[in-house]
Every structure is written in structure tokens, then in C-alpha cells.
Amino acid sequence: MNSGIKTIPYGVSDFENMRLLNGYYVDNTWGIPFLEALPYQLFLRPRRFGKSLLLSILHYYYDVKYVDRFDELFGGTWIHGNTTPLRGKYLVFHLDFSEISGETLEEIQQSFEDTCLIALDGFLERYQSILPDGTLETVCMQQSFSNRLKALVNRIIDTDKRIYILIDEYDNFSNRLLAQSGEEAYRALCHGTGFFKSFFALLKAQNKVIQRIFLTGISPMTLDDVTSGFNIAENISQSPKLATLCGFTHKAIRETLDYYEKAGQFPLGREQAFQLVTDWYDHYRFSQDGGEQVCNPVLLLGFMNQCLDSKRFPRDMVDENLRTDYHKLRHVVTTNGQLNGKFHALEQLVTEGSVTAKLIRSFQAETLTRPESFLSLLFYYGMVTIGEENNGKLQLTIPNQLMRQFTADFLLNGYKDACKVDTRVNELADKLGDMAYNGDWHPAIELAAQVLKEILTVRDLLDGEKAVQSALAALLSSGNALAVYTEHRAGFGFADLAMAPRIITFPKIQYGALIEVKYIKKSEKVEDGAKASLLAAARTQLERYAEDHNLVTTWHLKPQGTVTLIRLALVFHGEELLFAEEI
């Protein structure tokens, strides 16, 4: 292997390729013995979380064809000195369902069949020399994938050859079908005589030869919907032993930064880099029973790649490919063009920062109308993560700034789809930039209030205060220079909205803001005394928040720092902004 400075393997998911490129690798081969404990397993993580690389590692470790290259590929890793009994014992059949295309159920079914056939052809060619004579010819006489797999099994059932099936992104196309074509098409795929259900039933029936199956994906929903076809896979995703398997711990993040600094490749501040990475990509916890928080590994490597290339911190910390993936989720918060109960649960999450919920390990698409199923889906997608317990009840929290941004996008897209309101994101972003650099907050707040009124005018305000706060937070997240937090801890309290200056990335920012939102129900008459009382309460709260030492330090507030704090009190009467006043 190359002994020079390690490359950043951003976008590289093939283990052999990464090792040949001398890619930087955080060794997670310690997880292999745990994964070997059960024959059929499901491992779930959010998008772009290193699942494909994990499958590739398993492929090279268990594949009989790579026994002689074990030292070359795994030298220096944990597993090299701690091998397991099943190393190099299998014929590995590797399927990647992210390759399946098509818009309709029929197109997807054909692409699925083609993908499986091509993968099986490659499998036969790779192992032709160790399969019984005539296997290739016998199998290829069959036309369909199911018949070819059965023929293969029949040819090797009386030999010592056994198969390990790896399936990457098992639910990729089913999630896409649900998003694009709705629940009816999804149900046809997963229920009754649907081909996907039949596929898992086929694998289960060949268990004498197919002795191990490992699936990765995002959520358990699809597998639960095909459960009668394949009900033997153990969901190991929340095992405390595997909580850090696909992710960078804080220690690993610091070791990565230290390595490239010592190599002379990273001239930027390591502590600033650590703060950026943890603020934007970190704080995922995948087990209620322990385990460290971890950072998204692919996004971290993308960050490092940009830093090493440009010698500056990225201006935009949002991964646009990931934004596109999460954009597909927008369908779940509307029903017949109207915002549904799931949208209201999202608003609660935005305004309060966390929600009390039961984490569901297994659920079907038809149960997404239930708040606990919807919030569990958000957990599997990485939009919320396991927080602290409150009086014995689990809290699900937004893990980082990236997911706060995506949640804001979620809300804004809901307003566009259901309320038919132009949220004027670009115009608002410009005005928020003026606020951050010039302190001119009036245009941004006025435009946000105008759009907010248009949104809420066409909505049924069951909880007007929550709707105002969540819509305002989403709208004010349109800018790039100020990071928006709700219920932000400060001065022994929680500010309704905190607009934190991103001074690491934009060192010339001059202003940050704390906003206290007061609400008067639309049905209530506005009295002068009530307005004065609300303003006085907001003033007291904002003055207390502004004295918070941590806020002063992290925001670099004057007089020691360079940032001026804007303190705003906003009073709404229903959807109408009654007045905005700087304290």
C-alpha cells in the first residue's frame, strides 16, 4: 500500500479501491465479530452514513476469492489480528438496489429484475472455476432471476459452497416509489403478490445454501411491509455495541484533523474546524442503551476534502446531494394537498427543539399517520436522534444545524405545496445578509412577517402560537450567515429564536440576534395594557439572555468581541405582526 500522505476517500465506497488509493480510514473492523453472531441482519443508518463501505468491507473479508489478499487489504486493521472462524468462507452475492431506476411500478419491476440478473451473471463468472462443472450453462438456461437462483442453489446444495448475500440500500427504490407514486403503488410493491415481497420469500426458501444475509437501508418500514415474505432478519441498528460502527466519534474527528495538520495539509484552526463539524454533522445517537454520539462520516470527509482543496472553510455546509434526498420526504406531510397531522408534529419539533416520543423499531407505511411512526421515520432518516430521557420518557431531538436547515426546508416546502404561498427564500436570504453585516433587521423581519401572514391566513390555526414560531423559524433560516436555533439555552432560560453569527466561516459578520416572540390569540381583543405587559416581559427575558457568558464568548459579542447583539421583541396578534421593537 502507498505509504505517503493519506488521501481523502470522499465518495469512495469500495474498500479495495480505498486501500489502493491510500485513503484515510477510521478502522471499524472491530464490528465484524458482532455482525457474525447472527445469520440474517438488518442494519439501518441515515443517508450517506458509510453503509456501502461497511458492506464492501464485509464482502472482501468473507469472500473466498480474497483469502490470499487478506494481508494486503486488511493489514493494520483490528480484524487482521482478530480474525473470526468464517473469514473467507463464502461465495458473496452483492446487490446494490440504489441502481434500480424507473418511475412506475412496472418500470421499477423490470429494472429490479435486470439488476438482479446482471449481478447474478457477474457472480457466476467470478466463481465459475470453483462451481460444479456445467453450473453456468444450467443456470443461464433459465430466463427469470428467481428460476436462475433456484437452479444455482440446486447445483451447489450438495457441495461445501455456501452463499453470503449483501444487499445495499434495500429500501431505496421502495422509498422513491412511495414518494413519487403514493401509497397505492407502494402497497402493490410490498404486499400481496408484489415482486419485492416475493423476492424476500425466495431468499428465505433457499436458506440451506444462502446461509447469511446482511441488508442495509434507511428505515425498517419496507422490510416490515414485506415481513410475511422475510421475517427472520434481526434489526441490529440500535444495538449499543454497534452504536459507533458507521460514524466518527469526537476522538476520531480530532485524530483526523491532527493527522492532516501534522502532514502539513491543514493550515486552518483545528478547534474551529472541530466546532464547525460537530455543529453541522454530529450528535447522532443510535442506541437508547448507551453508545457515544457520532458524526456523519461522509459529510465529514466532504468537509475535509473542501478544506484541503481550498485552504479555507466551506461557505456552505449543506450537502446538496443530501438535500435532494431529503426533499423526497416532503410527500409525507401532506394529504390531498393539505397539511396533515405529521406536519403539526414537525412544527412542534421545530418550536420546542425536541419531542417526547416512543421510538418504533418496526412499522408499516400505512401507520405513518400515527405521530410515533412518523417521528420514528424521521429518526431513521437522521432528522432527529435519541436525546436525554425526561421523567423516564424518551426525547427525540434535532441533532445538528444541517438537520435544522433541512427541517426548515421541510416546513417551507410544505407551505409551498399546501398553502400555495411563495416563501420568497432568495429575497429573504438577501435581507438576512444585510441584517448580519449591517444590522438592518427591519426589512428581513417585515418580509418574513408578510410571508408568514400569507401562510397562516390559509391555515387552520389549531395552535396559532406554535404555527407562528415554527413558520418564523423556517423563514429566518433562509439566510446563510446566521444559524437559527429555537428554544436556545441562555441566561438560565430559553430564547425563542437565536440567530447565531457564523463567524468561523464568515469572520466579517457584525451582528447576531435574539428574538422573543409573544402571541395574542386572534379571538382576543388587543389592549394597550396587554401590549405593554408583553413588551416588558420580553425586555426582561432578553436582558437576561444577553448576559449569558457562553453566549458572549461563542458569539464573540462586544465589547471583547466584534459582534453586536440585536435584541428583538415581536408581538403577534393571530397571524398579524402587531409590532417589532428592538430592546
d(CA 357, CA 394): 6
- Quote the cell numbers at residue 302: 466532504
pLDDT surpassing 50 at residue 229? no
pLDDT band at 348 (very low <50, low <70, confident <90, very high): confident
Which domain does 157 fall in, by range? 27-241
pLDDT band at 139 (very low <50, low <70, confident <90, very high): very high
- The reported pLDDT for the residue numbered 262 is 95
Q: What's the one-letter identity of residue 582?
A: E
- The reported pLDDT for the residue numbered 412 is 87
Please identify which residue in the block is written with the cell numbers 480530532. 254
Residue 341 lies in a domain: no
Average pLDDT value over all residues in the chain:
90
Residue 13 lies in a domain: no
Residue 104 lies in a domain: yes
Sheet holding 564-573, edge to edge: 482-490, 493-501, 511-520, 564-573, 576-582
Residue 335 lies in a domain: no
| Nearest Cα to Cα of residue 500 among 408, 566, 579 | 566
- The reported pLDDT for the residue numbered 369 is 77
Kind plus residue range of the DSSP H or E element containing 389? strand 385-390
pLDDT tens-digit map of 263-309 = 999 999 999 999 999 999 999 999 998 778 999 999 999 999 999 99
| Nearest Cα to Cα of residue 220 among 99, 362, 399 | 362
Residue 261 lies in a domain: no
Domain's final residue, options 185, 206, 241: 241
d(CA 338, CA 159): 59
Q: What is the 3-state secondary structure (H, E, C) of 74-140?
A: HCCCHHHHCCCCCCCCEEEEEEEHHHCCCCCHHHHHHHHHHHHHHHHHHHHHHHHHHCCCCHHHHHH
Residue 127 lies in a domain: yes
- The CATH number of whichever domain residue 189 belongs to comes to 3.40.50
pLDDT surpassing 50 at residue 260? yes
Higher-pLDDT residue of 434 and 177 is 434
d(CA 206, CA 228): 16
- Contacts (Cβ under 8 Å, ≥6 apart) of 66: 60, 73, 88
Looking at the structure of the chain, the number of domains it has is 2
d(CA 183, CA 186): 5
- The reported pLDDT for the residue numbered 331 is 66
* Mean pLDDT of all residues in 392-401: 90
Domain's final residue, options 241, 274, 290: 241
* Mean pLDDT of all residues in 534-556: 92
Higher-pLDDT residue of 409 and 506 is 506
pLDDT band at 1 (very low <50, low <70, confident <90, very high): very low
* Mean pLDDT of all residues in 523-547: 89
* Mean pLDDT of all residues in 135-148: 96
Q: What's the one-letter identity of residue 197?
A: K
- Under a CB-based contact definition with an 8 Å cutoff, are residues 356 and 395 in contact? yes
- Under a CB-based contact definition with an 8 Å cutoff, are residues 189 and 177 in contact? yes
pLDDT surpassing 60 at residue 503? yes
Q: State the DSSP string of 524-577.
A: SPPPHHHHHHHHHHHHHHHHHHHT-HHHHHHTTBTTTSSBEEEEEEEEEETTEE
Domain's final residue, options 218, 241, 264: 241
- The reported pLDDT for the residue numbered 371 is 79
- Quote the cell numbers at residue 321: 446531494
What sign has the CA pseudo-torsion 320, 324, 330, 332? negative
d(CA 447, CA 450): 5
- Under a CB-based contact definition with an 8 Å cutoff, are residues 421 and 486 in contact? no
pLDDT tens-digit map of 232-253 = 688 999 999 999 999 999 999 9
d(CA 237, CA 220): 10
Residue 192 lies in a domain: yes
| Nearest Cα to Cα of residue 74 among 51, 57, 90, 55 | 57
Higher-pLDDT residue of 531 and 54 is 54
User: Which of 66-75, 271-280, 526-535 has the least mean pLDDT?
Assistant: 526-535
pLDDT tens-digit map of 19-50 = 999 999 999 999 999 999 999 999 999 999 99
pLDDT surpassing 80 at residue 496? yes
Distance spanning both ends of the chain, measured CA to CA: 62
* Mean pLDDT of all residues in 471-499: 91
Alpha carbon dihedral 436, 438, 440, 445, in 10-degree steps, equals: -10
Distances (CA, A) of 409 to 334, 414, 570: 14, 8, 23
* Mean pLDDT of all residues in 402-407: 91
Residue 321 lies in a domain: no
User: 102: phi > 0 → left, psi -120 to 50 → alpha, else beta; which?
Assistant: left
- The reported pLDDT for the residue numbered 212 is 96
User: Which of 122-136, 188-202, 281-295, 384-398 has the least mean pLDDT?
Assistant: 188-202
- Quote the cell numbers at residue 231: 421475517
- Under a CB-based contact definition with an 8 Å cutoff, are residues 484 and 473 in contact? yes
- Under a CB-based contact definition with an 8 Å cutoff, are residues 387 and 381 in contact? no
- Under a CB-based contact definition with an 8 Å cutoff, are residues 195 and 115 in contact? no
d(CA 564, CA 439): 8
Share of the chain above pLDDT 90, in %: 66
Please identify which residue in the block is written with the cell numbers 408534529. 345
Please identify which residue in the block is written with the cell numbers 407551505. 415
pLDDT band at 465 (very low <50, low <70, confident <90, very high): confident
